[in-house]
Each structure stands twice: as structure tokens, then as C-alpha cells.
Structure 1
């Protein structure tokens, strides 16, 4: 496994999550509590909650999704940016393209992941800023940002999901995912922060459109073309 920004995030998240599972003080100190953010200025919670998880299953699912879709995004965004067909002056027998393309992809991945996780807390914060009992944790919002960035970047790729015995187009999965999360959020009553998943997904879409608006056109063409 290459040591890149994705690998580092995976390792740090797994270590911190496993340690925190056996330490309620760490969970209470660093999980996302909108009330504390607003009334006690605990702004660090916007980021720290991403490195904590409720149980092994929660951690495994998020890290599994992050590993596969994160690698797809890193490969796609790095390779597409430094493409000799686009007249890149850095291209030299594959060497410099690989170097700069990888660096470009990793920088964008880090921004996408951290900012996506932060953006995912906006809706929960607005909803629960005066509720001292609301708490959330996990990298799901940040992972959703990465998943949807990968989907918008390459909407025609096929995703093989654990619970579906056949491949599904990325753009179709994205639509189904958002509809499902919206319906479950409206239904309410569960312990899953569906609003954070939606927020993260929307940020992932927005981020790709900011760095490459043509990807939005390609996504539309993939659906209707």
C-alpha cells in the first residue's frame, strides 16, 4: 500500500477510533455536540468528530468505503489533471506527470475530506445548536463528500456494492443514495445523521464543480446522453 494522504487518514482514524471506543472521556471531549460549539466555543468539534466512531462496524464500513472510493478519486483527479493530451508542459515520459498529478490529487483529497466533514455538520448544527443532548460522531459526512466527488468525476464507472450482486453505474447509485438519505432524514427517529450524509455529499459535488466545471456537464451527459 502506498503511503499517501488517504493511507495516513485511514491509519490515524482507525487508531484514534479504537482508542476512543474504550474511553468515554475521549468520546465526550471530541464528538460533535452543536450545543457546545455554540455556547462553549468548542469549534474543534467540527473536525475531531470525524476521527471517532460508535463501534467497530461503524468504523469498518466508513474506512472500507473511504479506501476504495478515495483511491478512485485520487487516481482520477491526479491523472486527469496532468494529461499530455491537454498540452501539459510538465509531462515527461510519465515521470513528472505521475509526480505532479499525484501531488495535485492528494492536496485536493485532503481539502475535500476535511472540508467535507466540516460542511456535513452545518445542517445538524442549525437544527440542534440549542439541544444539549444531541451528539454525533463518525467520518460518514467526509466519506460522503469523497464518494460523491468520485461519482461526479467519473459518473459512468461501475460500483460493486456488498449488498448488491451486480455492478451499478456510479451516477445511478448517487441518485438512489441521495433519495434514500432524504427519505430517511424526513422520517426521523433513528440514530443515523442522514442530514450529515446529505451535507457531505452536496459538498463533494460542489467541490468537483469548482475545480472542474466540465465534470458537471459530463455527469448530465452520462444520465441523458
Structure 2
């Protein structure tokens, strides 16, 4: 239910912000607002707003499938709101390097839940590396998608050919893996055992 609640809140806020520029301005990550005015809430609220409907739909669909699949793990280890804590941590950790790099740049903005969604996706891969997922109608093993995703994100982050924060995707993925391994004893061994015994 936590995953569904996150999706519901994110969709509501994003739809409101599509038509209310003031709300978008109040929630988006804008470094000077944090640096000068101590508006630290923006390190989380930027994940509640999205650039457009496609951006929102892609993130929320991904979260719907993978968040629900792993939500119980965090509830078991951290309590009822464990997945919410994990998700908020993903938002903060994934954006911090970008914020630090651009903290004095008044022209920089960032929005969207992609970093936290990446954290959920890569945490899922630890439990089911050979699960079949659909990527743009093409089925592939989750672990193969992870490799391609990381490679593509690194390439695009270095070339800077679009306005997507690929750095947040990478940091979110790293956070998802490290955090989950730290709270779930024996998971790394389980992951390796699954990895060497492919089951499609």
C-alpha cells in the first residue's frame, strides 16, 4: 500500500503543478533556494513534480511494478513505513551530487522521481536478476537491462546531450543496491547464487 500511496500523491501533485507554475516553482530543485533560503524540503519535493505526462507515466509505471514487488522487504526490516523511508532516501541521495555540483548555479533546475525509482528497480534486481522485464516492448533479463541502463546513463551523463539528470539515475541505482544489501543479511550471497544459475 505504501507504493500505491507514493504513486497517488506524486500523480496528484504533478497534475496540479502542470497547471500551477507557482506550485512547480515551490517544489522543484532549484539550488539557490536551498543555498540562500535553506529550503531543504526541495531535496525531496522535486520528486513530486514532473516535466510532462510522459515523464510522470514512465516513472510511476516503473515504481508500480517494482516497488510493490519489494515493498514487503523494507517493511520486514524497517517497519511499516520502511519502503517510504527507502524511497525518500533515494530521492535525497540521488540528487545530492547534482545539488552540490550546481549549488551556485541559478540557472539549474531538476525534477522527477527517476532517482528513487532507479533505486527501487535496482533493489528488485538483487532479488530476481533473471526476471523478465519489458523495455519498450522488448523482453530481456533484469540483469541485462541493469548493465545497459548503467552504461547508457554513464555515456549520456558524460556527453550531456539532453536535459535529463542521468547522474541522479546512477546515484539512485547505487543507493538502491547498497542500502538493500546493508539491511538484508545474506542477500549478496543469494544474488550471486541466482546470477550463476540463469532462469528465464
With the length of structure 1 as denominator, give the TM-score of the two structures: 0.81
Secondary structure of 2:81's partner?
A: helix
1:126 corresponds to 2:123: no
What is aligned with 1:18?
15
CA displacement, residues 126-161 of structure 1 (integer Å, 9 cap, x when unaligned) = 211110100011111111111111111222322122
Alignment of 1:142-157 (within 5 A): 142-157=116-131
1:9 corresponds to 2:21: no
Deviation of 1:51 after TM superposition, in Å, equals 0.6
What is aligned with 2:141?
169
Deviates more, 1:52-61 or 1:210-219: 210-219
CA contact (8 A) 2:128 2:194 kept: no
CA contact (8 A) 2:2 2:71 kept: no
CA contact (8 A) 1:120 1:200 kept: yes
Measure, in 2, the Cα distance between the counterparts of 1:172 and 1:56: 28
Measure, in 2, the Cα distance between the counterparts of 1:186 and 1:208: 27
- Where in structure 2 are there 5+ consecutive unaligned residues? none
CA displacement, residues 90-131 of structure 1 (integer Å, 9 cap, x when unaligned) = xxxxxxxxxx85x96753211111110111111111211110
- Where in structure 1 are there 5+ consecutive unaligned residues? 79-99
Summarize the Cα distance change of 1:35–1:189 in structure 2 as closer, same or farther, 3 Å threshold.
Answer: farther
Summarize the Cα distance change of 1:53–1:69 in structure 2 as closer, same or farther, 3 Å threshold.
Answer: same
Structure of larger gyration radius: 1
Alignment of 1:1-225 (within 5 A): 4-74=1-71, 77=73, 106-164=80-138, 166=139, 168-224=140-196
Equivalenced residues, count: 197
Q: CA RMSD in A?
A: 1.9
CA displacement, residues 185-220 of structure 1 (integer Å, 9 cap, x when unaligned) = 011131100001111111100111111242222333
Measure, in 2, the Cα distance between the counterparts of 1:58 and 1:210: 31
Measure, in 2, the Cα distance between the counterparts of 1:113 and 1:163: 27
With the length of structure 2 as denominator, give the TM-score of the two structures: 0.91
Deviation of 1:222 after TM superposition, in Å, equals 3.5
